Structure 1
Amino acid sequence: MKVEDPLEDFTRREVILDGLGKAVYVAGSGPAVIVMTEMPGISPHVARFSRWVRDAGFTVYMPSLFGRDGAVPDADEGANVFRRACVSAEFRAFGANASSPVTQWLRALARLAHEECGGPGIGAIGMCFTGNFALSMMLEASVLAPVLSQPSLPLDDPAGLEIGPDDLEAVRQRLDREELTVLAYRFEGDKICRAERFAAYAEGLGDRFVGRVLPDNAASTDVAPFFARHVPYPHSVVTAHLIDEAGQPTLTARDEILAFFTERLVKAESAA
């Protein structure tokens, strides 16, 4: 996980939607799941999670949103990626009550993925900087299985949500109408995704929000330089801080996410 990943088992596609092109790494077969990378980019840990999703019977779409694809950036390079994302017009790193503009493109990607893969709909998981994106994508009807892993925006308001009140209400109504749920994960001592944010989600979404809080001692301490310097606390539940050993809470979280995708996207299709 500390060696750059060539991503050779993914097909790199240039996907142009709404006049905007982005690289998307695709692998697998079955219903689609969009895996959105954490900061500072598609690391070997993010790619490993995508492979787990692929191997569970899904077609993974992994868009390149920032950073060097497959890289293990050092602390300085990772910090530069973070700073550029914070001032990019595609993202809203600061200020609550509005979604990042890039979620419009991701909703279009969801429609494309559903058209290409079929099935009842698609799954989506956001992590860290992209953590809330899967919730905003629920405004697209094809998204049936949203997962929020340590949703970190807005950075300046621990209790803030990166979605407008009207959009949040629309998502809440859809969750109730279609009997859907949102899965979310964080570590107890995470200093970016704090308890106040999960409380705000619970207030906005009611019992449709299923939040999981993992103990800090469940996080791996063997991390890459970017995390060692800039994220020196438990944060990345299914990537950088996951311990890939049986019985570990982070591995249990991964398995719950895969089961969630299966329940919503595979078993639902079989039932129909």
Structure 2
Amino acid sequence: MSLLAEWEGSRHVADGFDYPTYRRGHGPGVIVLHESPGLTPEVIAFGDELVDHGFTVVLPHLFGSAHAPPRRHEGALVIPRLCVTREFTMFGTGVTAPLSSWLRSLARALHADTGGPGVGAVGMCVTGGFALAMMVDPVVVAPVVAQPATPLPIGRRRAGDVNLSDEDLAAVARRAAEGCRVLGVRYHHDWVTGTRFDTLTELLGEAFIRVELDGHGHATLTDHRHPEAVARVVGFLEERLREKGPA
């Protein structure tokens, strides 16, 4: 049986993009963006965990396989495909990925259904920076950046880039100054994340909650799941989405 059997399937169309989505749960809304190689059982399990904590969770399916273990070598095939697709920005610095406008639209639609102070956004790996891009829209009040990996950290400039245009970077800094905090989680020795946490610390100051874990893993919430990372994410979402009127 499909791991998504209890999830309600739909599609969201906006800004020239059309992707499947899966929704489950009740309570404040959270959008969970999967990592490479796709909407894997581990990502779905994390979504189920948030549902059990009382959230309405939406899982967009953006690339790769869904609800089944990835096919052999699929991970090695996905990244090259993302490098040439127009939705993602794998190498460019100082730019916001085009898919961000679709994700902001999805966040607004979810908030219209669930209400409350806003919605959460959890980005992972190649989608890690998308949580920041979504934060440009004030409806996103709980952005989580998990092991952000784009642009690919080839060279010092790319390693420190957070996948945002100057305009969006200023908007994120402004929202943080107004009280919208950002949670970042990664393994301390994960080279794929580059120096992006240093960039976010410099940009956002105390508004950036920096969680760096011991060990040499990468996927903090899924394949290399760390209990502290999951607990910090759940606690952050609880605090931000159930309080009265965060910034």
Q: TM-score, normalising length from structure 2?
A: 0.93
8 Å contact kept, 1:129–1:152: yes
Cα 1:5–1:43 shift into 2, 3 Å: farther
Residue aligning to 1:253? 229
Aligned residues: 242
Residue aligning to 2:243? 267
8 Å contact kept, 1:43–1:71: yes
Gaps of 5+ in 1: 217-232, 243-249
Instruction: State yes or no: 1:85 paired with 2:82.
Output: yes
8 Å contact kept, 1:169–1:204: no
Distance 1:203 1:215 in 2: 22
Cα 1:166–1:20 shift into 2, 3 Å: closer
Q: How far off is 1:165 after superposition?
A: 2.1
How does 1:1-272 map onto structure 2 within 5 Å?
Answer: 6-155=3-152, 156=154, 157-177=158-178, 179-194=179-194, 196-216=195-215, 234-242=217-225, 250-268=226-244
Q: Deviations over 1:73-117 (max 9, x none)?
A: 244222112211111000000021111100110000000000011
Distance 1:189 1:171 in 2: 26
8 Å contact kept, 1:53–1:60: yes
8 Å contact kept, 1:103–1:133: yes
Residue aligning to 1:225? none
Q: How far off is 1:19 after superposition?
A: 3.9
Distance 2:205 2:84 in 1: 33
What is the letter of the counterpart of residue 17 of structure 2? L
Q: Deviations over 1:133-184 (max 9, x none)?
A: 001111111000000000000103212220112211111111212x121000
Q: TM-score, normalising length from structure 1?
A: 0.85
Aligned residue for 1:192, secondary structure, equals helix
Distance 1:206 1:121 in 2: 23
What is the letter of the counterpart of residue 234 of structure 1? G
Aligned residue for 1:71, secondary structure, equals coil
Cα 1:16–1:171 shift into 2, 3 Å: same
Q: How far off is 1:6 after superposition?
A: 3.1
Gaps of 5+ in 2: none
8 Å contact kept, 2:151–2:161: yes
Percent identity, aligned pairs only, is 39
Cα RMSD over matched residues? 1.6
